[in-house]
Structure 1
Amino acid sequence: MQALNFPQYEFRFKSSENSIYIFDEIRKKFVVLQPEEWVRQHVVKYLMVEKNYPKSLINVEKELKINGLKKRYDVVVFNSDGTIAIMVECKAPEIPIQQKTFDQIARYNLALKATYLMVTNGKSHYYCMMDYEKEAYQFLRGLPNYKE
């Protein structure tokens, strides 16, 4: 897999049935290593190692319903009270981050109400903080550390 714009992390891999798998610490299982999964696993490590979020507050690839349609978010980080602190939308490195990517995470966030959003393809990262009173968002240089 290609190098991404994240620090270097250690991952566990295995090969089976002509596929390579990467171990997902959150789901506690090996998953097929696809380009988007490579980005997702880097995001999880980044949140735990660089931003100090506890593994117990991170959730990966869960289903949600939006206007009756089943969708899946990539990564969310919960606050200790169960509200959502951060939602991350991951794309494969070859997928450019465009307006439709922001539209997608905004639709998901209508249901989840995260405070912070991150959109990444592993090479480019975008962060913003939601202001629900003003119905606006502010772009940031990065995500806050845990307990900030």
Structure 2
Amino acid sequence: MQQLNFPAYTFRFKNSENKVHIFDSIRKKFVQLQPEEWVRQHVVAFLLNEKKYPVSLINIEKELKINSLKKRYDVLIFQPNGNIHLIVECKAPNVKITQHTFDQIARYNLSLKATYLMVTNGLEHYYCQMDYENEKYIFLKDIPSYML
């Protein structure tokens, strides 16, 4: 797989039915290794190792209903009180981050109400803090590390 713009992490792999699978430490299972999954696993490792978010607050690929449409978010981090701290939208490295990508995560956030948003294709990372009062997002250089 392609080198991404994250620190180097160690992952567990296995081959099954002529396909490579990567171990997802949050879902506690091997999942098929696709380019977007490669990015997602790096994001999770980044959030755990660099930002020190506890495993217990991280959720991956759960269904979400938006205007009766079924969608799936990539990574979500809860606050200890149950509110949503961060939503991450992952794209494959060959997918350019566009306004459409931001529109997608903004639609998810209409119902989730996260404090922070992160959009990444593994090569480029964008971080935003929500300003609900003024109905906009503020771009940041980074997302904050975990603090109780």
State the TM-score, normalized to the length of structure 2: 0.99
CA distance in 2, matches of 1:24, 1:128: 26
1:77 match: 77
Note the aligned Cα RMSD (angstroms): 0.7
Does residue 24 of structure 2 align to residue 24 of structure 1?
yes
2:12 match: 12
Give the share of equivalent positions with the same residue, in percent.
Answer: 70
Structure 1 segments of 4+ aligned residues over 6 angstroms from their partners: none
Q: Give the letter for the 1:110 counterpart.
A: L
1:118 match: 118
Displacement, 1:134? 1.3
CA distance in 2, matches of 1:64, 1:101: 17
2:133 match: 133
How far does the alpha carbon of each residue in 1:4-50 deviate from its partner, in whole angstroms, 9 at most, with x for none? Answer: 00000010000010100000000000000000000000000000000
Does residue 120 of structure 2 align to residue 103 of structure 1?
no
CA distance in 1, matches of 2:136, 2:103: 13
Displacement, 1:68? 0.4
CA distance in 2, matches of 1:33, 1:111: 29
Q: How many residue pairs align between the two structures?
A: 148
Q: Give the letter for the 2:139 counterpart.
A: F
Displacement, 1:133? 1.1
How far does the alpha carbon of each residue in 1:62-112 deviate from its partner, in whole angstroms, 9 at most, with x for none? Answer: 000000000000000000011100000000000000010000000000010
1:89 match: 89
CA distance in 2, matches of 1:68, 1:33: 30
Q: Partner of 1:130: helix, strand, or coil?
A: strand
Q: Give the letter for the 1:120 counterpart.
A: T
Displacement, 1:137? 1.0
